[in-house]
Amino acid sequence: MSNKGYMKLSNDPSSSDTFIHDTFHKQATIVRDQDEDLEAVGDTLHTIRNMSHRIGEELDEQSEMLDDLGHAMMNTESSLKMLRLIVFITASVAVVAAANLEADPSGYVAFCPCMGRFGNQVEQFLGALSFAKQLNRTLILPPFISYPHTKPQAQMTPFADIFEVSEISKYHRVIQMDKFMRELSSTIWPKEKRLAFCVEFIGDEYHGPIGDGYDLGRTAARQEWQTKYPSHKFPVLSFVSAPAPFPIRAEDRHLQKYLKWKPRIMNKAIKFVKENLPRPFVGVHLRNNLDWENVCKALHEGHKMPQLFASPQCLGYHNELGILTPQICEPPPELILQEIEDIVGAIGGKSVFVASDRDHMITDINDKLIKRGVKAFKYDSDEPYIDLAILTLSDHFIGNCVSTFTSFVSRAREFGSRKDLKDTSFFGYEPIEKRKIEL
């Protein structure tokens, strides 16, 4: 379109006929250019409407919208005024919404997910969510902490960047930490009144006055917390660690169903499966980083341990389903390869996906499965969230019973909505057969 503007005629009279003629000629040129521009716009809109009619009667509404657009373009100044009004209203609504954010009179629970990596942090989060609900306090959603190998410092990832906050809210009241600190903390939790509750020290303000600590299974325990720390005196119960046991309690495992990936994560996982993993595919988690050898060292030395980390997920919380062995904690490569081949054969698997914190064993797995025409794949980017999402989508999942990373997947499959994606097993684990009692 023409970028010419209207020229203001001079108010001073001129005795020059040439000047008057030139001035009117310029004005006529400008008007003609603008008429051509408007005519071009009209032709364009007419062409688009004709295309819409050819697509079908169902697009009649779009034609009407184009008519409206054409009229709006005829009156640019009106359109700009309307746009400014919309922006103003939107901004005003945002300000009013922020101003109307009221503090929860029942109080808040805040904690630091400072133990371990993502798998551990999620188990702590689910326990803290249960704790907050039982005390009827709003849970302040903390960021998750990651420790990238390529960066010297830990990274904080906001909760809302990983999971859908709206899904968590279906279970209990929550608020994002940045929103709480920005809009509420200065009034209900000023700096001079910020008290932290410690977890691990003798005689601390956590275990001392409350006999059952964070175990709120008894009504009396909840009443003790509410009596000792009423919300009007302690609006925020802030813990330096999660107010929850580790590993996660059996009764809190179901809360996993409220952890729904953000579309950014889930869409990448689905895309990878469609492009690389013909079904049925086997999902595999290998926990074999250098630190894991020390975790399993005591078992290799012959020490008896009833449980370790997330082992209740396969052994049961009272070892009713098995006992912990070195092979369960740190399965040898030959056992891993054999069990993968067994599962691939059992389900007619066509591909394998492997997630690992160090060695994916891709070459070894491919060599093992070469006669079956099955290949193994991994996700190249260092994004554990996408690894977890892909493992959750597998037709059969094999994990490490002791690992909380595996535990995330096993819970997601157990309590997820996909009934066809439930099969889960653990390397080196053979469940105790349940006895049949005959009357």
Residues 240 and 271 in one domain: no
Shared-domain flag, residues 281 and 394? yes
Domain count, the chain: 3
- Cα(413)–Cα(397) distance, integer angstroms: 9
Residue with tokens 């809302």: 160
Q: Are residues 71 and 142 in the same domain?
A: no
pLDDT value for 208: 45
Whether 429 and 312 have beta carbons less than 8 Å apart is answered as: no
One domain for residues 304 and 403: yes
Q: Phi and psi of 175, rounded to 5°?
A: -145, 140
Residue 132: Cβ within 10 Å count: 25
Same domain, 225 and 284: no
Domain limit, last residue, from 215, 230, 252 = 252
pTM, two decimals, is 0.74
Tell me, yes or no, whether 95 and 146 share the same domain. no
Domain that holds residue 25: 17-99
Q: Which residues of the chain have pLDDT under 70?
A: 1-100, 198-219, 433-439
- The predicted pLDDT at position 435 comes to 36
pLDDT recorded at residue 287? 98
> Which CATH number characterizes residue 170's domain?
3.40.50.11340
| Cβ neighbours of residue 411 closer than 8 Å, sequence gap 6 or more | 253, 256, 313
- Is the same domain home to 80 and 162? no
How many Å apart are CA 316 and CA 250, to the nearest integer? 9
Question: Tens digits of per-residue pLDDT, 290-314?
Answer: 999 999 999 999 999 999 999 999 9
- Looking up tokens 């030139």 gives 22
Same domain, 174 and 231: yes
Q: Which residue among 79, 99, 119 closes a domain?
A: 99
Would you state the pLDDT for residue 133?
A: 97
Ordered DSSP codes for 365-390 = HHHHHGGGT-EEE---SS-HHHHHHH
Final residue of a domain: which of 78, 99, 120? 99
In a domain, 4, yes or no: no
Residue 272 phi, psi (nearest 5): -65, -40
CATH number of the structural domain spanning residue 378? 3.40.50.11350
- Residue 142: name the closest of 126, 159, 122 by CA: 159
Based on the fold, state whether residues 92 and 112 are members of the same structural domain. no
pLDDT tens per residue across span 315-337: 999 999 999 999 999 999 999 99
